Structure 1
Amino acid sequence: MLYLWLKALHIVSIVCWFAGLFYLPRLFVYHAMSEDQPSRERFKVMERKLYRGIMLPSMIATLVFGIWMIVINPGLFSTGGWLHAKLTLVLLLIGYHHACGAQLKRFARDDNTRGHVFYRWFNEIPVVFLLAIVILVVVKPF
């Protein structure tokens, strides 16, 4: 029963984390397009609150519940290579999360050198991660 609760909390955490991973780069698009100081300051506040208040706690919760599930059911590692591939993608996703944090710091310092087109493409990266991870977990192709 504990495992099912952990799985439910893991999924909720993932949904919250991905909501932030989808929205923060979209804010970067708008921030990069903004031309007046009040708009830029507003985006700085929104980005900071999203990253620190939603994304970071959601990422930590996702990792805690995921690791907890593996600890109480270590047999998951012998169910195939899908879990190893998923965990590799999760590590890369954590890297993307931190890249978002680095961009946030650049915007906070008014040191952004990239245009909105870059952030439009940057915004698509978590979609690829989500598709790959969900397919690995549901289909378990190997």
Structure 2
Amino acid sequence: MSNAYLWVKAFHIVFVASWFAGLFYLPRIFVNLAMVPPDSHAERARLLLMGHKLHRFGMILMTIALALGLVLWLHYGIGLKGPGNGWMHAKLTLVTLTLGYQGYCRHLLRQFEQQANQRSHRWFRVFNEITVLLFAATVVLVVVKPF
């Protein structure tokens, strides 16, 4: 493989990990928002601002990660050539689920913004773990290529 391929691959990994770091932390902000007392307007506003900034930054990281992934897939043929590329289909499914998770996080952020959240901080603690499972499964598929 060429030197350019290695640079694209390295930056793809960096941006995917960074995107997931944002997805690890955003639901933690939701935990804190769910615990804010109704009369604590300043704390709520600060957490909402943090959530919006993190979501916006995560969208930038996601876009770059996806663009670099497309370059690896379509330009360099990663997961396209030869038998045994079922792992790529599974990975793309996980990427789609992660995109859905990101979109659902935006929906939850809007609910907090409109003071329409109906979920407990415990629910958000469990919701936060989904990201870990998505990230771990994606890494295993890429490294192990089990099928």
Which TM-score applies when normalising by structure 1? Answer: 0.95
Deviation of the 1:63 alpha carbon: 0.4
The one of 89, 94, 105 equivalent to 2:94 is: 89
Q: Is the 8 A contact 2:72 2:78 kept in 1?
A: no
Query: 2:50 is aligned with what amino acid?
Result: M
The reply on whether 1:4 has 2:9 as its aligned counterpart is: no
- For 1:111-130, list aligned pairs within 5 A: 111-130=116-135
Which residue in 1 is equivalent to 2:74? 71
The Cα offsets for residues 26-79 of structure 1, whole Å up to 9 and x where unpaired, read as 000011001111111111100000001x21001101100000111212252235
Q: Is the 8 A contact 2:27 2:125 kept in 1?
A: yes
Query: 1:45 is aligned with what amino acid?
Result: L
Deviates more, 1:77-86 or 1:15-24: 77-86
The reply on whether 1:98 has 2:100 as its aligned counterpart is: no
The Cα offsets for residues 72-115 of structure 1, whole Å up to 9 and x where unpaired, read as 12252235211111011100110001000100111111211111
Which residue in 1 is equivalent to 2:115? 110
Query: 1:8 is aligned with what amino acid?
Result: A
The reply on whether 1:46 has 2:50 as its aligned counterpart is: yes
Q: Is the 8 A contact 1:77 1:84 kept in 2?
A: no
Aligned residues: 141
More helix by share: 1
Query: 1:97 is aligned with what amino acid?
Result: Q
Give the gaps of 5 or more residues in structure 2.
none
Q: Is the 8 A contact 1:48 1:104 kept in 2?
A: yes
Looking at structure 2, the residues matched to 43 and 64 of structure 1 have their Cα atoms a distance apart, in angstroms, of 30
The one of 24, 27, 35 equivalent to 1:25 is: 27
Which TM-score applies when normalising by structure 2? Answer: 0.92
- Percent identity over the alignment? 45
What is the RMSD computed on CA atoms of the aligned residues? Answer: 1.1
Deviates more, 1:106-115 or 1:42-51: 106-115
The alignment partner of 1:92 has SS state of helix
Looking at structure 1, the residues matched to 74 and 85 of structure 2 have their Cα atoms a distance apart, in angstroms, of 17
